[in-house]
Amino acid sequence: MYTSLVSRLLFPLQEQLKKHDTVRVRRKLEETQWWDADRIESLRIERLRALLIEAATHVPYYRQLFEKTGFDPAKVASTSCLQQLPTLTKADIRANSQALRHAGARGLVRSTTGGSSGEPLAFFIGAERVSHDVAAKWRATRWFGVDIGDPELVVWGSPIELGAQDRLRQLRDKLMRSTLLSAFDMNDANLDHYLRSIRRARPRMIFGYPYSIAHIARHAQRRGVRLNDLGVKVAFVTSEYLYPHQRDTISTVFGCPVANGYGGRDAGFIAHECEAGGMHITAEDIIVETLDASGAPAAPGQPGEVTVTHLATRDYPFIRYRTGDIAVLDDQRCRCGRCLPMIREIQGRTNDFLIATDGTPMPCGAFTYLVREIAGVESFKVVQESTTLTRIWLLVGDGFDPSALRRLEKGFRRRLGEGVQIGIECVDHIPAEKSGKFRYISSRIPVPAVVATKD
């Protein structure tokens, strides 16, 4: 889910408290993006070695792991040395939540994730990492000639963020000149109101879920409301698969390019599309590997599970963290001239929304949040079988209270429609999708049918 939540929750505070650091990191990133591939690689190796040495010295989990496996971080001479280490799964983080902390870490912030491609997960992030993720996002923003403080329209649906909306809004309005529209409430009456808000706000950039922004764009087309005369320079989309028809619709209606971003609160700001259309990895900060089913590097051009080592995570290291997303790496050079490596395709995030009975698309975040709220849920799977039936499988452990199921059922009905049947089952094992294990929430309502219904 790209930096979105981290940066949007923490950016205002970050800017006040750590302004110099974020600015410094962003300036450095704007310099390194033009370095040649060898020089970028040298920087990565140096930073990787420093992170691993720090982890070996101060992080109990890694001290033990390196001792057990005889791994010597001082000998790291290439990024492929990482292959000597095991990967870090969400289960590993869950089981070693405290042992992963740097002994000297101060001011760690607890964060959770569990979006469309992940099981619920709590972890910690330090200020260094926030600076780097925000700076990387800021750099990508500037690729399109807009800056992070420019007037912005945000179409978002995280209940966490919307819950703190009033407080955040004051800060945002002041510091970021940002207009927030909820992606959860897109009925026709609200959409009319949204169009008026957008015309009034005259945003320079739009940020949000591709489905939701495209939905607003189609509504503007139906109503004959013009939005391509407002001076919007770019629409940044994230969190979901971006379909070509969505890109076309958004681009046509708002009269601007669409730039796709990829990342998450857990994995960091992994990649972002540049002005020439290349999906560049934030290579200075993040080493991306794609692994096949056996855990070996995926063959060139083949899809593999995105596994990241975030180099700015000294306080709470993410080393070979398995994201659960599936992607194909690219070996081409981008026309923009940057040597930052690229991702050709992200495959692991489709159907990232459910459809309410009145046809309103509901971002998956609205539902994963409800499940995550329940204590003792270790994993889950949600499948929208039809507009009238949604099924939920829960894998529960210690601390689970069955009376929470009623709340869950009500929460789903409130979002999908009161008449919808919600089938909840507690199981020993979550059934996997044929396509892979990465889809924790999905809809069986075919996408073209959904789009057609809404058009």
Residues that bind Zn ion in the complex, under the rule CB under 5 A: 274, 276, 278, 334, 336, 338
Q: Give 225 or 336: the residue with its C-beta nearer to Zn ion.
A: 336
Nearer Cβ to Zn ion (1/274): 274
Q: What Å distances lie between residue 428 and 203, 380, 385, CA to CA?
A: 49, 11, 21
Residue with structure tokens 């704007």?
Answer: 30
Q: How far is the CB of 259 from Zn ion (least distance, A)?
A: 11
Minimum distance from residue 43 beta carbon to Zn ion (Å): 19
Burial of 390 (0-12, 13-18, 19+ CB in 10 A): buried
Of 164 and 276, the one with the shorter C-beta distance to Zn ion is 276
**Residue whose C-alpha is closest to residue 354's, from 264, 268, 272, 414:** 414
Nearer to Zn ion, 335 or 406 (CB): 335
CB of 242 vs Zn ion, minimal distance in Å: 17
CB of 281 to Zn ion, least distance (A): 11
Give me 35's structure tokens. Answer: 């370095």
- Interatomic CA distance for residues 414 and 147, integer angstroms: 38
Please report how close the Cβ of residue 32 comes to Zn ion at its closest, in angstroms. Answer: 14
Q: How far apart are CA 381 and CA 391, in angstroms?
A: 8
In angstroms, give the least distance from the CB of 338 to Zn ion: 5
For 212, other C-beta atoms within 10 Å of its C-beta total: 26
Q: What's the min distance (Å) between Cβ of 274 and Zn ion?
A: 3
Closer to Zn ion by CB, 128 or 273: give it.
273
User: Min. distance of Cβ 337 from Zn ion in angstroms?
Assistant: 7
Give the contacts of 42 (CB within 8 A, at least 6 positions apart).
Answer: none
Backbone angles phi, psi at 391, to 5 degrees: -110, 140
Half-sphere exposure of 219 (CA within 13 A, CB side): 19
- How far apart (Å, rounded) are the C-alpha atoms in residues 133 and 7? 7
| Rounded-to-integer distance, Cα 71 and Cα 85, Å | 8
Q: Least distance to Zn ion from the beta carbon of 339, Å?
A: 9
Residue number with CB closer to Zn ion (336 or 389): 336
* Separation of alpha carbons 88 and 212, rounded Å: 33
Q: Alpha-carbon distance 142 to 140, whole Å?
A: 5
CB of 342 to Zn ion, least distance (A): 7
β partners of residue 394? 380, 426
**C-beta atoms surrounding 429 within 10 Å:** 8
Alpha helices in 380-423, H assignment, sequence order? 404-416
Q: Are 94 and 124 in contact (CB under 8 A)?
A: no
| Residue closer to Zn ion (CB basis): 27 or 335 | 335
169 or 333, CB closer to Zn ion?
333
Give the Cβ contact number of residue 399 at 10 Å. 9
Residue closer to Zn ion, measured from CB, 32 or 179: 32
CA atoms within 13 A on the CB side of 207: 32
Nearer to Zn ion, 238 or 351 (CB): 238
